[in-house]
Structure 1
Amino acid sequence: MLRFCLTAVLALGGAGAAMTDARADGRLEARYLMSLGGLELGRAALIIEIDDKSYIASGSGRLTGVAQAVAPGKGTAGARGVMERGAPAPRSFAMQAESDKKAEAIRIVMNASGVTDTRIEPPINPAPDRVPITDKDRKGVLDPMTAALIAVPAGADPFSAKACERVLSIYDGRQRYDLELSFERVEDVKAEKGYSGPSVVCRIAYRPVSGHRPSRSAVKYMMKNRDMFVWLVPVAGTKVMVPFRAAVTTAIGVARLDAESFETEPMIGRRATPSKAGVP
């Protein structure tokens, strides 16, 4: 659950649609509430800075309320990369999570071809039914945080099907999977602080490729799950969309991530100091 709190905001979006013109800078600072069946489970924060040459994304999360009393936990994550032909191209990703029972750390290094190095602590437990991750699976992939940046094609309306229609290839160190996005509708959203306006709602389908265990009931459930959605809104001054809200139906209720504050502004010619949220 902690891992969901840290990464769902970041992994339910995606990147990969090329733009021909992205000569703009923007910054986003957002805070999210995580809930399950209407009960608060955690809080998450996300900071993104984008210019025409590079991007930085950092996030943090912690369990709160009943979840904290049962299993306290917190974590940070961060990614950075370059903008190639207007689209985010990842170069590094790192995540750390702690709970009362264990600690987990993942670091991924990438170049234009794909993943060049992965370090995971603790190592993945061997299992006879686990699908091996091959070298091919590490080519042309996004890390989970870069997968939160939706690059809308130049000239396209950001509040249209163009923001959704894509397949995202994601590698998180433990698994390689695809997220298939499809357009649902345009819907108005409003944060308590910051953004108020239209969003694009995309339906998401999960397609595991490797690193998973096909026999596990959770994997089978998520493959059949047709009730996963993300609401996307733009980072001011850019052609990049990011998650404002996400919802996933689970066996015990609907898990949601909702932006309580979503402050975004153009950032021409200035780059703030990276936050403490985990930029590698």
Structure 2
Amino acid sequence: MGTCTAEAPVRGVLFGVFVALAAFAAAPASATEAAWPSEVKGRYKLSFNGFEVGAYDFKSTTTGSTYTAVGNTKISALFGAFKWSGTFSSTGSVSSAGPQPAKYEMRYQTKSKTASVKMGFSDKGVKTIALVPNKPPAPETVKVKPENLLRVFDPVSATLAISNASGADACNRTIPIFDGKARFDLRLSLKGREAIKEKQASGQPRELVVCRVKYLPIAGHKPKDFVNPWIDYDHIEIALRAIPSAGIYVPYRITVPSTIGPAVMTAEEIRITSAGNAQIALRQ
């Protein structure tokens, strides 16, 4: 992330941070409110510096106390010179206390590279890690210690953890994440609220809760990448929309500022089936 090569801006912003923040959205708006939605489907538009570069699609399902989520991303930038596609999946259990991941898998492909990450979890934290290719980290990389892997979320279950809050707490938390290589925290704080318009009335509140997100590297990173970085890791934003009739929050917009322009992920359509089988459609 430390250099602005043709690949780094797109991969570093749209892949690294977007996956951590918005793998999918399906969590109770309050730990004491309604049951988890039975299904959430969504499509997001990805743009960089004002130009559309790709899309992200996801589907999550909840049955009883277990969840399954799958997603895929396709990115094409620099007039097709850079192409990236990835798939993500996560399974685990859910309760009023939040998500507990069991398995996580990510695969991605560029024109010249294919890679994957697989992780297994116990109730204490990460239990197994399988990387392809499995290359040793560079000497200057901050070593990931066993204690760094305790009580963490994978990038998909992290979004459930972000969404699993009451209105007062939505932007007042720190989320610990491990993506298979890097261990980092996302520290949320309230920035404000924002009114929104809809193409078609959904019956839901037309307001976003905007959280400022600070990315804090813990381990698995190169310190030099965070010395005068071109990505502004202190002022990432995620805007959440409360859906009271389904008892959830959904990520509606994510913005990652940089010295060469913002990367933005915006919801185009989200369809929710509540635990009571009510159908809710959000379009922007």
Q: Is the 8 Å Cα contact of residues 26 and 51 (structure 1) preserved in structure 2? A: yes
Task: Give the length in aligned residue pairs.
Answer: 263
In structure 1, distance between residues paired with 2:231 and 2:51: 25
Give identity over the alignment, percent. 26
In the TM superposition, what are the counterparts of 1:63-74 in structure 2 within 5 Å?
A: 63-64=75-76, 66-67=77-78, 69-74=80-85
Q: Does residue 249 in structure 1 map to residue 261 in structure 2?
A: no
Q: Deviations over 1:192-211 (max 9, x none)?
A: 57867222110000111100
In structure 1, distance between residues paired with 2:197 and 2:176: 30
Partner of 2:282: none
In structure 2, distance between residues paired with 1:98 and 1:144: 18
Aligned-partner residue type, residue 211 of structure 1? G
Partner of 1:99: 110
Q: Does residue 58 in structure 1 map to residue 65 in structure 2?
A: no
Q: Does residue 49 in structure 1 map to residue 58 in structure 2?
A: no
Aligned-partner residue type, residue 208 of structure 2? S
Shift of 1:83: 1.2
Partner of 2:208: 199
In structure 1, distance between residues paired with 2:41 and 2:243: 10
Shift of 1:34: 0.9
In structure 2, distance between residues paired with 1:148 and 1:247: 15
Q: Does residue 83 in structure 1 map to residue 94 in structure 2?
A: yes
Q: Deviations over 1:234-280 (max 9, x none)?
A: 4665544231110011121111001111222314479xxxxxxxxxx
Q: Residue 262 of structure 1: which of 261, 265, 270 is its match?
A: 270
In structure 1, distance between residues paired with 2:79 and 2:38: 34
In structure 1, distance between residues paired with 2:84 and 2:244: 32
CA separation of 1:16 and 1:182: change in aligned 2, threshold 3 A: farther
Partner of 1:148: 159
Q: Does residue 188 in structure 1 map to residue 200 in structure 2?
A: no
In structure 2, distance between residues paired with 1:162 and 1:263: 25
Partner of 2:169: 162
Partner of 1:273: none
Q: Is the 8 Å Cα contact of residues 235 and 242 (structure 1) preserved in structure 2? A: yes
In structure 2, distance between residues paired with 1:105 and 1:168: 23
Mind listing any 5+ residue stretches in structure 1 that lack a counterpart? 271-280
Q: TM-score, normalised by structure 2?
A: 0.81
Shift of 1:81: 1.1
CA separation of 1:113 and 1:47: change in aligned 2, threshold 3 A: same
Q: Is the 8 Å Cα contact of residues 106 and 120 (structure 1) preserved in structure 2? A: yes
In the TM superposition, what are the counterparts of 1:198-217 in structure 2 within 5 Å?
A: 198-217=207-226
Q: Is the 8 Å Cα contact of residues 254 and 265 (structure 2) preserved in structure 1? A: yes
Shift of 1:8: 4.1
CA RMSD of aligned residues (A): 2.9
In the TM superposition, what are the counterparts of 1:7-22 in structure 2 within 5 Å?
A: 8-12=17-21, 19-22=31-34
Aligned-partner residue type, residue 265 of structure 1? T
Q: Bigger CA drift: 260-269 or 86-95?
A: 260-269
Q: Is the 8 Å Cα contact of residues 32 and 43 (structure 1) preserved in structure 2? A: yes
Q: Does residue 25 in structure 1 map to residue 43 in structure 2?
A: no
Shift of 1:30: 1.1
Partner of 1:177: 184
CA separation of 1:175 and 1:259: change in aligned 2, threshold 3 A: same
Higher relative contact order (CA 8 A, sep 6+): 1
Aligned-partner residue type, residue 235 of structure 2? D
In structure 1, distance between residues paired with 2:129 and 2:243: 30
Q: Is the 8 Å Cα contact of residues 129 and 213 (structure 1) preserved in structure 2? A: yes
Q: Deviations over 1:4-53 (max 9, x none)?
A: 54564442269899824543434221111111110111111122223551
Partner of 1:139: 150
